[in-house]
Amino acid sequence: MPLIQATIIEGRTLEQKKMFYEKLTAVAVESLGVKATQVRVVINEVPATNWAVGGISKADMDAEK
């Protein structure tokens, strides 16, 4: 029973997350030879203030745009 965990910056729509679940599940079914009902997907959403690249938070990067 595959468990796929993804950590993303919060702010995606419910529709985007549903598509993500569906596509990850399809890839697991195709590549691992499991049933879709066996695939688990967990999204961990992180606030932009808690996500940094090169020492700068995503929130600060967005504010600079």
Active site residue ranges: 2
Contacts of 14-18 with C-beta under 8 Å, sequence gap 24+, read: 17/43
